Amino acid sequence: MEVMLQWADDLDDLLAAAGQVLIGMSDLLPGLAGVAVAGFGGVSIGLGITLLIGPVLP
């Protein structure tokens, strides 16, 4: 019986840790999404400038 209680306690700790990880991930995701959008935006702006200036340069 005691083993079962210990196992349940460990499982509870594990679930709590997993919950903390998920909360941490949900905090990180908007930041990662922002970085990805900024990265793609930077690339597209760079391509746009290259296409604009490219024909002008010899």
C-alpha pair distances (Å), 44 with each of 10, 34, 36, 47, 49 = 49, 15, 12, 5, 9
Q: Where in the sequence is the domain holding 18, given as residue range(s)?
A: 1-54
- Cα distances from 57 to residues 5, 45, 52, 53, 54, in angstroms, run 75, 18, 10, 6, 6
Q: Tell me the pLDDT band of 58, cut-offs 50, 70 and 90.
A: low
pLDDT of residue 57: 61
> Coil, strand or helix: which one is 9?
helix
pLDDT in tens, 9-39: 888 888 888 888 777 777 777 777 777 777 6
Question: pTM of the entire structure?
Answer: 0.39
Domains in the chain: how many in total?
Answer: 1
